[in-house]
């Protein structure tokens, strides 16, 4: 038999220490539950997750799928069109390199290896392409 302090288990109801004797199995289960609760509190603290995504109020859907207003969608479409038209005005090599680097997430080393040129040449080409795109977009 082990002694358990009910004040530790029910701090809202017991303002003073109140001990009872319980069997070893019950004391072991209480210790397991205490460890589980402590682990949950530590995970919550570590991940700063002081809210529930299981509430069913749609908070996780709203966070993951941000819906843009029609005006924002239209502005994004216009800016994408302006970007693509500016890229079409670049020389073919610069446009290919910019597309590979920014849209296909290829590294400069990979682009250089595929094209059989140096990494410096690819980097300079991308930098010149970006400056030309900036000039074209400023003039619009």
Burial of 110 (0-12, 13-18, 19+ CB in 10 A): middle
Q: Which domain holds residue 40?
A: 2-62
- Indicate if 74 and 43 belong to the same structural domain: no
- Indicate if 133 and 74 belong to the same structural domain: yes
Neighbours of 75 (CB within 10 A): 12
- Indicate if 75 and 131 belong to the same structural domain: yes
Number of domains in the chain: 2
| Both tokens assigned to 39 | 């682990």
At residue 126, the pLDDT reads: 93
- Indicate if 80 and 55 belong to the same structural domain: no
- Indicate if 55 and 77 belong to the same structural domain: no
121: domain CATH number is 1.10.10.10
- Indicate if 19 and 75 belong to the same structural domain: no
- Indicate if 51 and 107 belong to the same structural domain: no
Output the tens digit of pLDDT for each of the chain's 140 residues: 999 999 988 889 899 999 999 999 999 999 999 999 999 989 888 887 766 656 666 666 666 767 778 888 888 888 889 988 999 999 999 999 999 999 899 999 999 999 999 999 999 999 999 999 999 888 87
At residue 76, the pLDDT reads: 86
- Indicate if 123 and 80 belong to the same structural domain: yes
At residue 60, the pLDDT reads: 66
């Amino acid at each position: 038999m082990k002694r358990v302090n009910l004040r530790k288990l029910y701090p809202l109801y017991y303002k003073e220490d109140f001990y009872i004797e319980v069997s070893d199995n019950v004391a072991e289960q209480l210790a397991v539950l205490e460890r589980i609760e402590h682990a949950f509190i530590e995970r919550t603290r570590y991940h700063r997750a002081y809210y529930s995504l299981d509430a069913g109020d749609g908070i996780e859907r709203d966070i993951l799928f941000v819906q843009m207003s029609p005006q924002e969608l239209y502005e994004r479409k216009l800016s994408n069109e302006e970007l693509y038209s500016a890229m079409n005005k670049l020389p073919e090599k610069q446009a290919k390199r910019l597309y590979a680097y920014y849209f296909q997430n290829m590294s400069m080393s990979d682009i250089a290896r595929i094209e059989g040129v140096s990494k410096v040449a690819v980097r300079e080409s991308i930098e010149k392409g970006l400056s030309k795109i900036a000039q074209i977009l400023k003039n619009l």
